[in-house]
Structure 1
Amino acid sequence: MARIQIKQVRSIIDRPERQKRTMQALGLNKIGAVREVENTPAIAGMVAKVGHLIEVTEL
């Protein structure tokens, strides 16, 4: 599987609880936080739901 780098670029303050939990599941908790993960269908779905809060780079 391909790996992707996910970086949080916007705050989760005043976001719905579902989006906050998705960000937590991705391992992001602060602006500027970066995680490298496998691009599985589950991760791709989470990325799609919070795409307005993150920046994605393919590795």
Structure 2
Amino acid sequence: MSKVRVKQLKSLIGRKKDHKLCISGLGLKRIGDEKILKDTPSIRGMINKVAYMLEVEEVKK
């Protein structure tokens, strides 16, 4: 299964509540945080919702 690296680039201050929840659901807490996550449809949905705050790249094994 492929994986994606997700990095938070922008602050959560002043964002919609559901966008804040998506960021926390991805395991990110602050600007500069990075997580490597499985590439599943639910993760992709959260990434697409808050893509303007993230940097996303494919991780190859």
Normalised by the size of structure 1, how large is the TM-score? Answer: 0.97
Structure 1: runs of 5 or more not aligned: none
1:15 aligns with 15
**Which digits, 9 at most, give the CA deviation of each residue in 1:7-49, with x for residues without a partner?**
0000111000000001000001100000000000000000000
> How many equivalent pairs are there?
59
- Structure 2: 5+ residue runs without aligned partners? none
Partner of 1:40: 40
Calculate the aligned-residue CA RMSD, in Å.
0.4
- The percentage of counterpart residues that share the same residue type is 37
Runs of 4+ in 1 over 3 A off after TM superposition: none
